[in-house]
Amino acid sequence: MSQLSTKHLLGIKEITEADIRLILETAANFKEVINRPIKKVPSLRDITIANVFFENSTRTRLSFELAQKRLSADVVNFSSSNSSVKKGETLVDTVNNILAMKVDMVVMRHASPGAPHFLSRNVKANIVNAGDGTHEHPTQALLDAFSMQEKLGDLAGKKIAIIGDILHSRVALSNIFCLQKLGAEVMVCGPVTLLPKYISSLGVKVELDVMKALQWCDVANVLRIQLERQQIKYFPSLREYSLYYGINKRMLDSLDKKIVVMHPGPINRGVELSSDAADSEQSIILDQVENGVAVRMAVLYLLAGVKG
């Protein structure tokens, strides 16, 4: 298989295992490219890509922009804070105006779950979901899987614990779909108030004790508390959360095996992860950032080859 089965990347749920494996194989080739002295390839030289971000982003936006420039694409950046959206323009009108300037692909982050899906039904360009509310963040799940594969090899049968604010995390949902399609076992761990009611229906294990989750897993993917999405208090204080669910080096050293520690960023140091754990030799957090560029290069390159 050398082509994706879809012209959009809207979520991991919508793509096949073969699509995921193709993206990860292509990313391995691009990782070799970005570690050369000359990091640019002319693969998307005639393609124009618009980064349309309706929410704040540092890592994802920089990573996509760097991936686009490494592929020699023309890049247009759009920020809703200084756009006609503030004057009442609709999402479809905003994007159609951008497409009227002959843009081929749109990378979009939006606060509303399903916004990229809605857009894909109303415009002709390829759409890449860079995060839609609390729904999905497909490229983060792909780069997480790529980073785990680099460290552990084939993920079939591997045990992955996702620890933290599962309820408000788009990373958790995409990771669950991606890891299950690659044959991994998935556990979620966090306070019961931060676990969605539907979570057991996704075929994952549920654990409330963080030490038991760490003892069980090969990889701990630690998520931050998404305070900006919380309308009510889900736990008494950050200090109490850290006391019960924060992970530190002492806890990692007490395990009878070495596990891999991951975090999609940004880290709230001293809350979900202590500095000595985040900076330990078991952490692959900076590898995730590097791999993000290669994985996003692979996604853009493969989608550009899908017409129709």
Angle at 266 between CA 260 and CA 271, to 5 degrees: 75
| Residues tagged in the binding site annotation | 59-60, 87, 109, 137, 140, 170, 224, 265-266
Total Cβ atoms within 10 A of residue 39:
13
Q: Which residues does residue 189 pair with via DSSP β-bridges, in sequence order?
A: 163, 207
| Residues tagged in the binding site annotation for L-aspartate | 87, 170, 224
| Residues tagged in the binding site annotation for carbamoyl phosphate | 59-60, 109, 137, 140, 265-266
Angle at 210 between CA 252 and CA 254, to 5 degrees: 25
